[in-house]
Amino acid sequence: MQYFEYVKYIIDGYILGPVTFFFLSVVGLAFMFVFRSWWTKGSVALTVLIGSTIFTFLSMSDPDFAAIVKKPDNIPIIIMLGSIGFCLWIAFRKMVINDQLIEKGLPTLEEQEVRKRVFCWPDLVYAEFLMLLLVTIFLLWWAIVIKAPLEEPAAASKTPNPSKAPWYFLGLQEMLVYYDPWLAGVIFPGMIVNGLMALPYFDLNPKGNGYYTFKERPFAIVTFLFGFIILWVLLILLGTFLRGPNWSFFGMYEYWDVHKLEALTNVNLSELFWNHLLEKPLPTNILLREAPGFILVIGYMAALPPLLANTIFRKIYVQIGFWRFNIMINLFLMMAALPIKMLLRWVFNLKYIVGIPEWFFNI
Amino acid sequence: MSLWNWITETQVWRSIFRHKYPDNPRDQSLAVLSNVFLHLHPIKVKKSGVRMSFTWCMGGITFFLFLVETITGILLMFYYRPTVEWAFNDIKALRELAPLGIMRELHRWGAHLMVITVWLHMLRVFLTGSYKPPREFNWNVGVILLVLTLLLSFTGYLLPWDQLAVWAITVGTNMARATPFLGHEGPGASLLALGDVQIVTAGSDVRFALLSGTLVGPAALLRFYVLHCIAIPLAAGLLMAIHFWRVRKDGGISGPL
Ligand code: HEM
């Protein structure tokens, strides 16, 4: 227990911060991909499971941590984490096994059974019935043990601090740190939905249809999981557990102090360019003032695609053709825009690449 | 067994189930074919497709949770009035007065769980590459279902009308203000003007349409209630019917070709 106090101290004092949280997550994901045949072993997975359970229990002894985690509406997030972890474990395990089988020229796990037909009764209906029972029992237990929250009656004058959206949207709310609402709250969610819908029409890789495999479609899986795990799930965690009053960052075991203020010394690209680089005052003409930003953004969205098509994405470009490639690369660059802006913020304190508050047009 | 035999020999039983106990191929087929619920399924399925480790059963659980939400939701509607005067008090009374008062818990935790399972379902469909031909369209039906599931959860979040509810919805719907052209704080909105008259204002933008007001008030409560209890569930139900039908038309659960 005492030792755990040191652990807490180190985690909060030296490790956790928005930057390290993000980097550790990315490193963790990369680790998952590279060492997939190691961590999917039963023994390793079991160790991780036991380790993280012990860690959670120890952490629950901390009143500040427990206060946030035990909020009734945050409990689903813990359940989500556990179930995503478990499901990814199953999936990666099958991927590893199948990739080995494919390498040896043998049929995959699914292929061995796909031509075997079984009667729905009992094979499928019994399984369904069993799941139905399990979910019912679990839900009843949850409903009995934990009361649904009901706070004070609504009062338009009493704004809570922090005010948070429902947990499943907290990734989007976390994006507001880096992008204005028109992007983080409207364009990006729209792009996520559009991107998901368009996915089957630009991923023309015929392999990996109906069975688990990593080696036959690494780009698709890495991109999708980066989006889902890092940019969606982990940002939800960050937004829920590590963001307190005024959306300031708080460590896992830190008290949510309303008076904690983070210095905001962010600067716009226009200021960096005109004031610092050219040592001139900002031009009064808005378009001239923001020209560097516009050039960067247009370059990113318009000049980068042909460049990528001729270099690292050449194979994909040849495979899927001009139109599909353009749709895909646009979605891809939009998605990459979030981590890029994060980096720019952390490294240069950059606020806006294009900043025209006069027109509500800030990027 | 004799009681079982007696029951299954009665005219009542035989009028409902037109087959014997399904322990032989003929009755196993009939059990699925002659039951309106089970006939969503084909008579036989790929062995690879019924494996729990393949589908994680997540689509099925999502559907089951949708049913749970429908039933508990109907029960909650008996006790709840979507007006500012009553909403909060009705929810409070539900906790104190209603017998077996876990309906609200079941409904709320079921909703959270459904959000999780629908994500997991999408994850498994992605990881098995099941969005690839011929299932592109069904993947798209799924994406709309995903959005509807989130909207169902979001609209329901407002109904208890407590601080948690109102401010979460305020934060969420504030985004709409910034919609390009259509929100009064969105880029481009100021370009839409007739002479000096702004077309997109706080009283006419998408957020206003969503809330039927400039803030989360009585009209928004009614609007979210109707969306939550009628409009979105109907749309989701319809799309689920299409979704399941397409699973079969696309050749059943996916598998290597
Ligand atoms: C309310 C939401 C949803 C319900 C109730 C639902 C239900 C189901 C069910 C019961 C199946 C049969 C196989 C299985 O259980 O995995 C299925 C298959 C499928 N679902 Fe969903 N689903 C939903 C949302 C989604 C979403 C969000 C997506 C994708 C973005 C999706 C895409 C698919 C596809 C492509 C299949 C065919 C998979 C295959 O053949 O292997 N569905 N769905």
pLDDT digits (tens, 9 = 90+) for A245-273: 988 888 888 888 888 777 677 889 998 99
Q: How far is A3 from chain B (nearest CA, A)?
A: 35
Q: How far is A158 from chain B (nearest CA, A)?
A: 8
pLDDT digits (tens, 9 = 90+) for B82-102: 999 999 999 999 888 777 789
Interface test with B, best of A90, A93, A110 (most B CBs within 10 A): A110
Q: How far is the CA of B239 from the centre of ligand 1 (A)?
A: 11
| The residue type at A273 | F
Q: Where are the domains of chain B?
A: 57-158+237-257, 161-215
Question: Measured between alpha carbons, how far is B246 from B257 in angstroms, rounded to an integer?
Answer: 18
Query: Cα separations (Å) of B183 from A168, B206, B218, B254?
Result: 23, 6, 21, 42
| B28 contacts A119? CB cut-off 8 A | yes
CB A265 within 8 A of CB A259: no
The answer to whether residue B1 scores a pLDDT higher than 70 is no
B41 vs A109, A124, A210: nearest CB: A124
CB B256 within 8 A of CB A211: yes
User: What's the ipTM?
Assistant: 0.94
Instruction: Return the pLDDT at A258.
Output: 84
The answer to whether residue A81 scores a pLDDT higher than 90 is yes
pLDDT digits (tens, 9 = 90+) for A120-155: 989 999 999 999 999 999 999 999 999 999 999 988
Pocket test for ligand 1, best of B243, B245, B249 (most atoms within 8 A of CB): B243
| B109 contacts A120? CB cut-off 8 A | no
Query: Residue range A211-233: average pLDDT?
Result: 96
Kindly state if the Cβ of B135 falls inside 6 Å of ligand 1.
Answer: yes
Give me chain B's average pLDDT, please.
93
Question: Measured between alpha carbons, how far is A40 from A85 in angstroms, rounded to an integer?
Answer: 11
Q: Which CATH superfamily is domain B57-158+237-257 in?
A: Cytochrome Bc1 Complex; Chain C (1.20.810.10)
Give me chain A's average pLDDT, please.
92
Give me the residues paired with residue B44 across strands: A119
Q: Which residue has the tokens 């049929």?
A: A107
Q: How far is B245 from chain A (nearest CA, A)?
A: 16
| The residue type at A24 | L
Closest-CA residue in chain B for A140? B106
Question: Measured between alpha carbons, how far is B127 from B254 in angstroms, rounded to an integer?
Answer: 12
Kindly state if the Cβ of B122 falls inside 6 Å of ligand 1.
Answer: yes
Give the residue among A361, A347, A343, A177 at the shortest CA–CA distance from A272: A347
B171 vs A109, A140, A165: nearest CB: A165
Instruction: Return the pLDDT at B190.
Output: 80
Question: Measured between alpha carbons, how far is B107 from B103 in angstroms, rounded to an integer?
Answer: 6
Q: Which residues contact B174 (CB under 8 A, 6 or more apart)?
A: A181, A185, B207
